Chain A
Amino acid sequence: MEDPFATAFALMASGDPELRQIIGLSLRVTLTAVAIACMIGLPLGAALALARFPGRGALVVLFNALMGLPPVVAGLMVYLLLSRSGPMGGLGLLFTPTAMVVAQTLLILPIVVSLTRSVTEDLWLEYHEQLRSLGAGRLRAVPTLLWDGRVSLLTGVLAGFGRASAEVGAVLIVGGNIAGHTRTMTTAITLETARGQLGLAVALGIILMAMTLTLNAVAWGVGQWAKERLE
């Protein structure tokens, strides 16, 4: 096994188009999933914090539990849903990047919902009388709370991104690891491991780690800046 660090560095330096394509797809799929999970999860989490209805407690527990949903299970569910023989087979989405986005959204959504609920619940406790006095009802309070909780919410979104970019179980099942089409960093690592190309697998892992590290560093920096400037 050659030095994986040297391999990783050589790979990145070479600007290999296949590697660029894999990195690009990984980022595109995960970022899209994060964006969609936020669009659904932020309002849903806030609604869950503010609304009072029968079964709310059960829903809160459910979303908390779903944070631990194993990626393979999420993948299997989406696979059965999108398979030609499944209820949404007509869309022809299995083994496409879209299917991977769907599966990853399913993984991230509970994280975003649960964190948003807990952040907005705390804020609501502090804000609700003042907001009512200023003329905002519960519904109108939702965007206010999301905006005022933005720094804390960033953490949750990042956690979601981390989970999605690291997982392989779901994307492997629903994407099929098709070369040039649905191969991501993690499925490529799985493949190279299976081929016994451990050096290459570790090199890809190093690149993935470097990407995650960079992103987290940026996000942490933004978070610090935001705390300083936006609170």
Chain B
Amino acid sequence: MIPYNTRRSVLLGLASSLALLTALSAAAQEFITVASTTSTENSGLFGHILPLFQDETGIEVRVVSQGTGQALETGRRGDADVVFVHARAQEEAFVADGYGVERFDVMYNDFVIVGPGDDPAGLDDVADAATAMAAIAGSGASFASRGDDSGTHTAELALWEAAGIEPMGAWYLSTGSGMGATLNAAAQIPAYALTDRGTWLSFENRGPLQIVFEGDDALFNPYGIVLVNPERHPTVKAEQGQAFIDWMVSDTGQDAIASFTIGGEQLFFPTAGRPSE
């Protein structure tokens, strides 16, 4: 009696969970997958511009936010249609290796160096970013690095190189995690850190941290957008992906980027159409 009921309920369960699975995977509409960086997602930029794009084109954009290195790897594996990151050299290599079609400038923001308010390295009177990094290394204060191959991490390494310093030792802390987690760590220690301005502005758990150095050209942080090469991965939604890229570099898209502010401050500055230097 009961065993038969059991069998029936097992069958029912099987049927209903299959139904559940199908329901879960049923795609509501047209969509593309964009692999991007934590800085764009965490700052809230996508929340601001994507609804505008979707209203106009009906295409849903699903953003997977990762470090730049991981985002490019996602593109290389064919798991995203578009890559939107900020490490120009890596993006150009991505295109040169045949993984991406073409790189477009979209916007920039800048990096800032944040550190404890008492500024033990005395960065307010240094001239440029490389000198600032050297001052931190020489001061005995700690520095918290992303250490995750992200665009920010790449930019940081370039600054160390310019300063002629090999970052190593007890003062140099590689967190191996995202911008937010690294800032959380820097606030606790406290330590200096390099961060993009967007994440910094929207970051709330600052503790003693403030901006201690900004404004050098070396801290320029350009974002590029690349369509993943459909010849390498036929599953790439080239048409919709290109539509997104076209929109991002169009006047509408650029205006949308420019209109995104936090506390009245603009975070990203459109650069599409300008000759890249």
Contacts and interface: CB of A to CB of B under 8 A. Distances in A.
Chain A–chain B contact at Cβ < 8 A: yes
Interface of A: 1, 28-29, 32, 35-36, 38-39, 83-86, 89-90, 92-98, 101, 140, 143-144, 146-147, 176-179, 181-182, 191, 193-199
A190 to B, nearest CB: 9
Given A177-B64, A196-B184, A85 B6 contact: no
A128 to B, nearest CB: 16
Contact of A143 (B7, B14, B24, B25): B7
Given A178-B62, A179-B47, A196 B204 contact: yes
Name the prevailing secondary structure of the B interface residues.
Answer: helix
B65 interface: yes
A226 B202 CA distance: 51
A196 B13 contact: no
A1 B203 CA distance: 12
Contacts of A29: 24
Contacts of A86: 77
B247 to A, nearest CB: 19
A157 to B, nearest CB: 12
Contacts of A35: 13, 16-17, 20
B13 A147 contact: no
Contacts of A1: 204-205
Contacts of B205: 1, 196-198
Contact of A195 (B24, B77, B202): B202
A25 to B, nearest CB: 9
Given A84-B77, A98-B25, A179-B63, A92 B235 contact: yes
Given A181-B62, A194-B178, A39 B3 contact: no
Nearest to B77: A85
Given A39-B17, A178-B64, A195 B180 contact: yes
A176 B64 CA distance: 5
A89 to B, nearest CB: 7
A195 B42 contact: yes
B79 A95 contact: yes
B64 A193 contact: no
Interface of B: 2-3, 6-7, 10, 13-14, 16-17, 20-21, 24-25, 33, 38, 41-42, 46-47, 62-65, 76-79, 178-181, 183-184, 199, 202-206, 233, 235
Given A1-B205, A143-B6, A193 B181 contact: yes
A92 B233 CA distance: 12
Contact of B235 (A84, A176, A196): A84
What 8 A-B pairs come out closest when comparing CB atoms? A194-B180, A84-B78, A176-B64, A196-B205, A196-B203, A98-B25, A85-B77, A35-B17
A98 B23 CA distance: 9
Nearest to A144: B3
Nearest to B35: A176
B20 A28 contact: yes
Nearest to B19: A32
Nearest to B236: A84
Contacts of A94: 79
Contacts of B33: 95, 176, 178
Nearest to A80: B77
Contacts of A182: 62
B78 to A, nearest CB: 3
Contact of B42 (A83, A95, A191, A198): A191
16 contacts: A32-B20, A84-B77, A84-B79, A89-B78, A89-B235, A92-B235, A93-B25, A97-B24, A147-B6, A178-B63, A179-B46, A179-B47, A191-B42, A193-B181, A194-B184, A198-B204
B167 to A, nearest CB: 23
